[in-house]
Structure 1
Amino acid sequence: MPETATQVGTSETARLVLPAVRRRLPRIAQRVADEIRSTVPAYAGADHRQPVFTAVNSAAAYFIGRALGEPVSSMAADDLFAKLGFREGGGGGDLSRLDSAVRVAAGIYWAEIRVEAAALGISPYALEDLRDALDAYAEHLLDQARRGHAAGSTVREQDTGLARRRLVDGLLAGADLADLQPYTEVASWSLPAQVVVIAVELPEEARLDLSDLPASVLCRTATGRAALVGAEADTEDAIAQVRAQVPAARFAVCWPVEPRDAPAAHRWTQRALGLASKGILPPEPVLECRSYRTEIWLHAEPVMRRQLAQELLQPLLEETANSREILSETLLVWLETRDSAPAIAARLGVHPQTIRYRWRRINQLFGDALHDPEYVVQLMLVLKASIALWAAGDQSDFERYSGRAQ
């Protein structure tokens, strides 16, 4: 330790006063720790109790040994105060509360020294060198804390990105929210009551600058895709920032869900982009998944859809491609609306008589099955999923049925 840390050497005053103070060090250190917790509320928590007590006791032991001319090392005390500063910097705080704590400690130790000096009949003037040394040592300890604070602040800045990545990875993987909580402070991110998950499709050569995104939005990137997680209020801004960087980006935006449901929301948004790429959902730049929940749900089980199509849509699969298209379209509108022929005709842009003709053919194909409520519900859902596939050019249902019929 530099000689400037304490300017006092061994003196008659120090030899008379400090041994008695040293004998009471554990009790004084405890009193100092209690006073610090009382006057500096930030240090009132149980997690601060032992570090503060240890640092205070170690610093006092060094100061007394140094003042008595003993071969003591400052390394332990310096390291403890550097760690306290590091902790403040790593947590995003300043050194004001640690400065207050050091001033509290110095004041109590000085009071103890004065009491002991008075008991020995030593004049206050004889203590001036000792007081100067105590003040200099307190400043030295704060210098160590500043050094640690600078290092902690640097690490915090570097670790913020890592903490944000662990948060978004954990949320999308379904990690226990309690396990993710420690990362929120480092990441400067508050977990909303509900989150919105956004899947982003990017050109393979595109790279996102995450620093341009709102701090309230977490982002995970990979080649050709990204995932955003944040509160609903931040959705539009996040999309706008990504589009400013990558105009060709396409988005699928989920409706708000509880954080524990983020993995499911991530699957839904990815599925929506996949369905859009196949032509099953419209190629909108920003797909609002809320508008396509049924399609996203039904296409979650492609094998079941295929089996239900072979079973429930058999009458339509026997028709020609053109007949199957117009009859399935008419049937689905009726199942969804139960409207009259004129209303359905207006929706489809054809003459009401055309709808009546189609309806007669539909009744010939399905007969009394259209009066079975459970069958009708299943028929509507499988039609809603299958018609989109057929319109996108997927004829595998018809080909599969033809192969079975041969």
Structure 2
Amino acid sequence: MAGTSQARRLWFSLPAELARRFRPHADRLATKILDEIQHTVPEYAKPLEGQFGEVIVRAIEQAVLSCLDSIEDLQAAQDRWGKMFHEVGKRVYHDGGSLNSLQAAYRAGGQAAWRYVSGFGQSMRLPVPMLCVSAEAIFAYVDEISSYSVEGYTLAQARATGTLERRRHRLLELILATPPSSPSAVSSMARAAQWDVPEWVTVVALEPLEEQHFVPPLSEDVLLDLEGAEPCLITPVPARDIPVLESEMPNWRAAVGPRVRLTDAATSLYWARRTLELVRAGLISGGPVVHSSDHLTTLWLLQDRFLLEELSSRTLAPFASLTPKQQLRLAETLLAWLKCNGNTVDIARLLDIHPQTVRYRVSQLTELFGDRLGEPEERLTMQIALEAHHLLGTRPS
């Protein structure tokens, strides 16, 4: 491509004698171009110092000489165009310059070059067609070297973005590690990832509902992992980001963990994932975004099935002698009796049965449990066990 570019063909179409006569003006033209760029583009209106300044000055000088070389030889310096101006784009990005200003600098440089060349041509009484070709060559050349710099800039930007993403992913892993990572390790990685360390965070467990899923436009300070086996995110401002999840994530399910200090982020993730498990199991209902804080009792009751079975077998042992149907019916009545403080009318309304049926069942419960129904500690453990069975849809066998 470099050897057959439009700009190079245009330069080569001009007489070689023109290049030899113009060479003494090369340094002066380079100075004019630099002055015009600094006068026109605010970002470059400063002393060009250090490596950045060296690259810019050398690029302008090289641009002028490459044009003259191409007039005399179509294949002259064919590899230098791309490499030089590709490097300019990379250097501008790494020095914090904007792409718009870089492109504006190329336009300003092209205009300055044409003004100087046209003045030279008129003083030399060059034919108008030759001046027209010179103008076309200048602006074709500016477009070409500008495209090289844009490519270098965007490539450097992409590489930096990829590096930043990797650092942020590593930071996410450090924050959620069990046992916890040292504060110094987290702080060091946070600096490398350009992430301001907050005091409080909320962790959200995520689950894609479809293979093709849209990633919501979240804030830059959100740490996000969508590629892992258990996707999640960390937000320092849940009030800002959770509504975005609710409105912009139709193909995701999310469970929001409790708000915690950064050092407890792994705990927030644990409860968020546990909430997501119970949603999948149908034990917690809700929309696409479920908050663990709305289901603390359920999470606590269903935290350990072994302990639940142990508690149930001890507390609800009198049900063991009943048939499965009797167990379900009397367990339902006992739970209602505990919730309604023994009020027959309220129990009947809650269960949608006749008060007399309530009295009959309560009589059966009294025979089974005796004085335990009057002991506060026993009543509490009974209600805990019955609530858990009710959530699970199981019977107190």
| TM-score for the superposition, normalised by structure 2 | 0.55
Residues 381 and 202 of structure 1, relative CA distance in 2, 3 Å threshold: same
Q: Which residue, 369, 386, 392 being the options, matches 1:383?
A: 386
Verify: 1:226 aligned to 2:231, yes or no. Answer: yes
Task: For 2:285 and 2:165, locate their aligned partners in 1 and report how far apart those are by CA, in whole Å.
Answer: 35
Map of 1:4-403 to 2, 5 A cutoff?
156-173=160-177, 174-203=180-209, 205-207=211-213, 209=215, 212-222=217-227, 225-230=230-235, 231-233=237-239, 234-243=241-250, 246=251, 249-282=252-285, 284-338=287-341, 340-389=343-392, 391=393, 394=394, 398=397
Task: For 1:275 and 1:284, locate their aligned partners in 2 and report how far apart those are by CA, in whole Å.
Answer: 13
Query: Could you tell me which residue of structure 2 aligns to residue 34 of structure 1?
Result: none
Task: For 1:240 and 1:165, locate their aligned partners in 2 and report how far apart those are by CA, in whole Å.
Answer: 25
Amino acid at match of 1:199: A
Write out per-residue CA displacement over residues 258-292 of structure 1, whole angstroms, 9 at most, x where no aligned residue: 22222122121222222232232236433221222
Deviation of the 1:332 alpha carbon: 2.3
* Aligned residues with identical type, % of pairs: 27
Amino acid at match of 1:198: V
Aligned partners of 2:245 and 2:289 also within 8 Å: no
Deviation of the 1:152 alpha carbon: 8.0
Residues 251 and 151 of structure 1, relative CA distance in 2, 3 Å threshold: closer
Residues 229 and 93 of structure 1, relative CA distance in 2, 3 Å threshold: same
Task: For 2:174 and 2:338, locate their aligned partners in 1 and report how far apart those are by CA, in whole Å.
Answer: 42
Secondary structure at the residue paired with 1:282? coil
Residues 357 and 383 of structure 1, relative CA distance in 2, 3 Å threshold: same
Task: For 1:384 and 1:287, locate their aligned partners in 2 and report how far apart those are by CA, in whole Å.
Answer: 21
Amino acid at match of 1:228: L
Deviation of the 1:89 alpha carbon: 7.3
Aligned partners of 1:196 and 1:235 also within 8 Å: no
Task: For 2:340 and 2:167, locate their aligned partners in 1 and report how far apart those are by CA, in whole Å.
Answer: 50
Residues 203 and 154 of structure 1, relative CA distance in 2, 3 Å threshold: closer
Residues 285 and 360 of structure 1, relative CA distance in 2, 3 Å threshold: farther
Amino acid at match of 1:200: L
Secondary structure at the residue paired with 2:198? coil
Task: For 2:184 and 2:356, locate their aligned partners in 1 and report how far apart those are by CA, in whole Å.
Answer: 63
Write out per-residue CA displacement over residues 178-220 of structure 1, whole angstroms, 9 at most, x where no aligned residue: 321233344443343322222222236245547x333232222
Task: For 1:298 and 1:354, locate their aligned partners in 2 and report how far apart those are by CA, in whole Å.
Answer: 30
Write out per-residue CA displacement over residues 37-81 of structure 1, whole angstroms, 9 at most, x where no aligned residue: xxxxxxxxxxxxxxxxxx9xxxxxxxxxxxxxxxxxxxxxxxxxx
Amino acid at match of 1:309: S
Amino acid at match of 1:320: T
Task: For 1:289 and 1:360, locate their aligned partners in 2 and report how far apart those are by CA, in whole Å.
Answer: 39
Aligned partners of 2:206 and 2:230 also within 8 Å: yes
- Gaps spanning 5+ residues in structure 2: where? 1-26, 28-49, 51-89, 99-152
Secondary structure at the residue paired with 2:303? coil
Deviation of the 1:150 alpha carbon: 9.9
Aligned partners of 1:308 and 1:382 also within 8 Å: yes
Residues 220 and 380 of structure 1, relative CA distance in 2, 3 Å threshold: same
Amino acid at match of 1:238: L
Task: For 1:286 and 1:356, locate their aligned partners in 2 and report how far apart those are by CA, in whole Å.
Answer: 43
Residues 188 and 322 of structure 1, relative CA distance in 2, 3 Å threshold: farther
Amino acid at match of 2:383: M
Aligned partners of 1:251 and 1:285 also within 8 Å: yes
Task: For 2:214 and 2:291, locate their aligned partners in 1 and report how far apart those are by CA, in whole Å.
Answer: 22
Amino acid at match of 2:243: E
Write out per-residue CA displacement over residues 202-241 of structure 1, whole angstroms, 9 at most, x where no aligned residue: 236245547x333232222246742122122121213433
Residues 305 and 185 of structure 1, relative CA distance in 2, 3 Å threshold: same
Residues 339 and 366 of structure 1, relative CA distance in 2, 3 Å threshold: closer
Residues 180 and 363 of structure 1, relative CA distance in 2, 3 Å threshold: same
Aligned partners of 1:254 and 1:269 also within 8 Å: yes
- Equivalent residue pairs, number: 259
Q: CA RMSD in A?
A: 3.8
Aligned partners of 2:348 and 2:358 also within 8 Å: yes
Write out per-residue CA displacement over residues 324-367 of structure 1, whole angstroms, 9 at most, x where no aligned residue: 22322232234345262222333333333333332222222211
